[in-house]
Amino acid sequence: MNPTPAPESPDPALSGFLTAHKLARPGETARWTPLAGGVSSDLWRVDLPGRSLCVKRALARLRVAAEWEAPVSRNAYEWAWMRFASRHRPDSVPDLLAHDPEAGLFAMAYLPAERHPMWKAQLLAGEVEVATAAAVGEVLGALHAASAGEAALAAEFATDDNFHALRIEPYLLATAAAHPGLAGTLRSLADRTARTRLALVHGDVSPKNILVGPSGPVLLDAECAWYGDPAFDLAFCVNHLLLKSLVVPGSRAELLRSARVLAEEYVRQVDWEPRAALEARAASLLPALLLARVDGKSPVEYLTDDRHQLFVRTAASALLRAPASTVGGVLDAWANALEAPTAAGGGRHV
């Protein structure tokens, strides 16, 4: 939760939200500081006398170059996901303070960066602790296991439209449109993902949404929450570690080891279906998500080198045409491609 340059002051409705929920007293001075909250929501740190908190409000149109709209009702599902997680792993989400579903906003505890650094910032700085990845895999698997087979959760999180708008269309279908030769495979993955309903999915398990706290990882930004395919969360997170292995070459071995350990710890928690079945789905989704972060509607901002983008397209396309059956198999193929000599015979690909 790191501050960004201050924008315009928030509208009066936000201050009214604080007083209505007794988070601020009438007339009390509040200082609002915008935080880097991604492309889909406004996020503020609110400093009040002697205390701070965090307020999040969903945007109807996301801040990306491509046109991308999503219902603000997802804010209510994020709140509900965090309530679920707090019942099972209370140290893995911030304390929840208040929610206004009609306004599409909620308040939670503010977690200072000194004690809760963002995992993404650590990884990009080359501070790669494999133990952190293992803890992320364990927490994610435990939350999926706690939700698997729960009919009440399946009904509460029947958010197919949200998940389609936020994940299926901008990642899988937009990438299919950009790669006609792979369109059939990508659309098939989209269809399979959409119809698989086994556990409560976070939907955005990315290092930018994970804080490294003193009691373990803290998960944020669950506005894509959906009762669906848990393999999506596993593939989505491992995907980010692979992409960062391109831009942090000095920590490449540790990043690849982190990806492997995260998947291993996650799979140890799987008791709701055969582990091989889940791994196969995650392994086939992983290259699709890699390709999506180059050619989908939400490309990663740090992958700017043309050589890196070409590498992702080449490696991911090969895995989509000849899928691995396990996440470990995908990691082996990625590592082998990184070590392969270039066509000109001079050094490695990247």
Q: pLDDT of 187-198, one tens digit each? A: 999 999 999 999
344 in any annotated domain = no
Higher-confidence residue of 114 and 9: namely 114
CB 23 within 8 A of CB 53: yes
| Confidence label for 12 from pLDDT (cuts 50, 70 and 90) | confident
Handedness of CA 145, 150, 156, 160 (dihedral sign): positive
Query: Distance between CA atoms of 7 and 28, rounded to whole angstroms?
Result: 21
Q: What is the mean pLDDT of residues 17-36?
A: 88
Backbone angles phi, psi at 80, to 5 degrees: -65, -40
345 in any annotated domain = no
> Can you give the pLDDT at residue 75?
81
Q: What is the mean pLDDT of residues 136-148?
A: 98
5 in any annotated domain = no
User: 290 is written with which tokens?
Assistant: 């890699």
Half-sphere CA count of 251, side-chain side, radius 13 A:
19
Q: What is the per-residue burial (b if ≥16 Cβ within 10 Å, else e) of 134-172?
A: bbbbbbbbbbbbbbbeeeebbebbebeebbbbbbbbbbb
Give me the number of domains the chain comprises: 1
Residue with tokens 């989209």: 190
CA 57 to chain centre: 18
201 in any annotated domain = yes
38 in any annotated domain = yes
Residue 243's domain is classified under what CATH number?
Answer: 3.90.1200.10
7 in any annotated domain = no
The CA-based dihedral angle spanning residues 115, 120, 125, 128, taken in that order and rounded to the nearest 10 degrees: 80
155 in any annotated domain = yes
- Which residues have CB under 8 Å from 127's CB, separation 6+? none
Least-confidence region, from 39-43, 114-118, 222-226: 39-43
32: domain range?
Answer: 12-339
Query: Distance between CA atoms of 25 and 48, rounded to whole angstroms?
Result: 10
Q: What is the mean pLDDT of residues 335-346?
A: 70
Query: Distance between CA atoms of 55 and 46, rounded to whole angstroms?
Result: 7
Q: Which residues pair with 43 in a beta bridge?
A: 56
247 in any annotated domain = yes
Q: Which helix (H) or strand (E) holds 228?
A: strand 226-228
